[in-house]
Amino acid sequence: MISAATPTGRSCAVVGEIACLLHLTQTRACRSKLAEVKRAFLFVAVAGSLFCLDGCSRRPNERRAVLVGLYRLHWGNGSNCSKRGIESSTLDLRADGTSEQRDRFKDGSQFVTPGKWYYEGDDNIRIQNLRITTTGEIDKNATATHAGVLVLWSRPPNIVLNPDDDCLFAKVQ
C-alpha cells in the first residue's frame, strides 16, 4: 500500500488511495499507483482476450472432433426431403472415420449404409457412401454415393445436405 502525501496534506492510504487514484494524480506516488493499476488492467485484458481466443475458437483438429456423433434428419414443410417418403434418418460419424446412415421410409423399407467420412476443413466434409439423390435429398431409390456436404457451425453443428433446401442432419449426441 502506498502512503504518500497529497497536495492537501492527507495520506494516500486505504480510502485516501481511491481518492488519489480518482482525483489527486498530481503527486508522484499517486501517478505511480495509477500507472500500476493501468498495467494490471492491461495485463488482465490481454490475458482474458487470449484465453477467450484460445477457448472460443476451434482449430481444424478440434473441429473434426466436434463433428463426431449421431445426427438426426430434420426437414421443414415443403422441403424436398418431405416429398421423398422418408420417415426417419440418422447419420453416425465415428471418431475412427467410419460412418453409418440408417434410413426408414413410410412404406416400411429400411436401409443401413456403412461408409467413411473426412473433414476437409472450414465448412466441408466428404462422406463416402451417403445415400442421397443428386439434388441432396434422402430417397429410397438413391444409390450410395461419394458426397460433399456443408457443416453449419452452430452448437451443436448441423450437416446441410442442400443449401437451397431446409433438409439437414442435426447433431443429437
| Pairwise pLDDT comparison (87 vs 78), residue with the higher score | 87
Report which of 62, 124, 120, 115 is spatially closest to residue 92, judged by C-alpha positions: 115
Q: Which residue has the cell 424436398?
A: 80
Grid coordinates representing 106 are 413410410
| Pairwise pLDDT comparison (90 vs 56), residue with the higher score | 90
DSSP H or E stretch at residue 21: helix 15-22
Q: Could you give the CA distance from residue 21 to residue 8 in angstroms, rounded to a whole number?
A: 15
- What are the tens digits of pLDDT across the range 87-100? 889 999 999 999 99
CATH number of 61-171: 2.40.128
Greatest mean pLDDT among 31-35, 45-49, 150-154 lies in 150-154
C-alpha distances in angstroms, 80 versus 4, 85, 113, 136, 163? 77, 10, 21, 9, 12
Q: What is the DSSP letter of 97?
A: S
Domain boundaries, the chain: 15-56, 61-171
